[in-house]
Amino acid sequence: MITLRHISFSWVSDIRFWILVFFVIRMYGITLPPAEVGHAWRQVTVNMVARNFYETDPNIFFPRVDFAGEKTGITGMEFPLLNYLIYLVSLMAGFDHWYGRLINLTATSAGLYFFYLLLRKFLGEKIAFYSTLVLLSSIWFNYARKIMPDTFSMALVFMGMYEAVRYLEQGKWFRLLTFGILITLGVLSKLPSLCILPVLAFPLLDRNYPAKRRWGILAAGLVGAGAVSAWYFYWVPHLVKEFGFWHFYMGNSFSQGWHEILDHLPDTAKNFYFSSLYSYAGFAAFLAGICLAFLKKEKKIIRIFLLLTLVFIVFIIKAGFNFSHHNYYIIPFVPVMAMVTGYLVSQINLRWVRYGLIVILMMEGIINQQHDFRIKPENRYLQELEAKADQVSQRSDLIVINGGISPVDIYFTHRRGWTCQNEDLFSGKALEELAAKGCRYFFLDRNKAEGDVPEVPYRIILENKDLRIYDLRTPD
């Protein structure tokens, strides 16, 4: 007779099991369009570039958005690797809103395993295991399934860093090549992913590795840095100048960024004490972990923490206001916080206390993010905008919509044109001026109209509870 004591549960202590479990959990609602609670606007910008690769021009060096008015929409931005992967999937299956979710989730899940492998190699099995569990339930839990390059790029960087270590150990050239490719693509996809790379200084300064191999890593890194610099500091400005549309945020001066951070300290602090791990208990454990590391003189933990914290402070100041008001800017630093928190958990000798703490940290993180796995009820009408637009216009027609600064509305209409604030559209001769630039229709999103809508001197050609469409060619 087989009893429970004869059954091995070794799989529970295998991090691959938990990465798979979290992969499955985050498959819930994976086919939903990008209209959930958090950062729908950022996701649709990724999708519209991918859709334009699919429908207009597949040249990866000329990404284009849909809200550049009468212009082509070609503009400088992050290297559109995630966008291009969505395009490649679309070639096989036709474009759909959700492909980027699955691509990001797959890449991020793989990256988490490489994060674990790196920590296991340098800090040991227990710290690596608990740190990865913390990272799984952190802000990464949510953003790993968003159509955004933040965790996607970090995953590529972790893979590249592991390949660098393997090259130092083995000296095999394909490891060096893989390192160079992955690191370059990761940082190209999202520049802040660069913040984690300085930790490679520790193995590069380790004389136990042959000098030739260490120089090889440095040379490959410099080649990658050249590619990244060429894209962000030559090609992005060139596209903006050539095609006349600015979209991508490249940060502030340090002076301006410093003052913006000081002016928004509460929001800046919130990114650390809540948005990072989505757990107040997690942040308390992180602080306790730092104190314990210093008390026990854990040199490896302390050095990694201090180095990457200093680097991240520079990034925070450079980002300024945007860091304070966009929680995903904390993503590159969360692995450091997860490492310190995982270290604390690993130091607890009583098994039931250790297990209880990690369960509390993970459950709080997941519960505080579960709301973002569904579409906001007030956003469901967005899925019908394209069908309504198709009733009255061609996809080549330029439109203007009162979507404010967010491109969500214009993305879901599947049209190009302008997205404007209500007050701008209803003042002066704004609509008349847009019509002169080739705009054919005004889409009034009634859910975003504030108060009574002023009279518009154009004929209404479609109206329902969510939308009113005016033909700008036919005055009323």
**CA dist., res. 265 & res. 267, Å (int):** 5
| Predicted confidence (pLDDT) at residue 8 exceeds the cutoff of 60 | no
pLDDT tens digits for range 192-224: 999 999 999 999 999 999 999 999 999 999 999
pLDDT, tens digit (0-9, with 9 covering 90-100), for 139-176: 999 999 999 999 999 999 999 999 999 999 999 999 99
Which is nearest to 385 in space by CA: 83, 143, 66?
66
Mean pLDDT of 1-6: 47
Q: What's the sign of the alpha-carbon dihedral 456, 379, 190, 278?
A: positive
Please, what is the Cα angle at 16 between 209 and 20, to 5 degrees? Answer: 140
Pairing of the two strands 416-419 and 398-401? parallel
Neighbours of 92 (CB within 10 A): 6
* Region 255-277 average pLDDT: 93
DSSP secondary structure, 125-147, as one string: HHHHHHHHHHHHTSHHHHHTTSS
Between 153 and 251, where is the model more confident? 153
Q: Which residues contact 207 (CB under 8 A, 6 or more apart)?
A: none
- Whole-number percent of the chain with pLDDT over 70: 97
* Element spanning 313, H or E: helix 299-319
pLDDT, tens digit, 9 for 90 and up, residues 52-106:
999 999 999 999 999 999 999 999 999 999 999 999 999 999 999 999 999 999 9
Residue 65's contacts (CB-CB under 8 Å, 6 or more residues apart) are 45, 48, 49, 52, 73, 75, 77, 245, 247, 407
Under 8 Å between Cβ of 166 and 159: no
Amino acid in position 170: Q
Report yes or no: 49 and 168 within 8 Å, Cβ to Cβ: no
The answer to whether the beta carbons of residues 443 and 409 sit under 8 Å apart is yes
pLDDT range class, residue 1, cuts 50, 70, 90: very low
β partners of residue 400: 418, 442
Give every strand in the sheet of 416-419, ordered side by side. 416-419, 398-401, 439-445, 467-475, 458-463
pLDDT at 278: 95
pTM comes to 0.94
CA distance 290 to 302: 8
Q: Give the chain's count of helices (H) and strands (E).
A: 22, 5
335-391, pLDDT tens digit by residue?
999 999 999 999 999 999 999 999 999 999 999 999 888 888 888 999 999 999 999
At residue 9 the predicted structure's pLDDT band, cuts being 50, 70 and 90, is low
Span 464-469, average pLDDT: 92
Distance CA 25, CA 19 (A): 10
CB 171 within 8 A of CB 213: yes
**Residue 453: DSSP 8-state:** P
pLDDT value of position 229:
97
131 closest CA partner among 361, 329, 468, 332: 361
Give me the residue label for tokens 């990256």: 111
Alpha-carbon gap, residue 131 to 334, rounded angstroms: 10
Determine the pLDDT at residue 43. 96
Query: What would the mean pLDDT of 116-133 be, rounded to a whole number?
Result: 97
Work out the mean pLDDT of the chain and round it to a whole number: 93
Q: What tokens appear for 239 in the block?
A: 């596209």
Label residue 5 by pLDDT band (50, 70, 90).
Answer: low
Report pLDDT digits (tens) over 19-45: 999 999 999 999 999 998 778 999 999
254: pLDDT strictly greater than 90: no
Give me the pLDDT at residue 452, please: 67
**Any idea what the Cα angle at residue 453 is, between residues 449 and 459, rounded to 5°?**
110
What is the mean predicted confidence (pLDDT) over 128-133? 98
**pLDDT the model gives residue 154:** 98
The span from the CA of 158 to the CA of 334, in Å, is 13
- From CA 116, how far away is CA 124, in angstroms rounded? 10
- Per DSSP, the three-state class of 245 is coil
Q: 128 with 119: CB under 8 angstroms?
A: yes
**How far does CA 112 lie from the centroid of its chain?**
15
> Is it the case that residue 279 has pLDDT exceeding 50?
yes
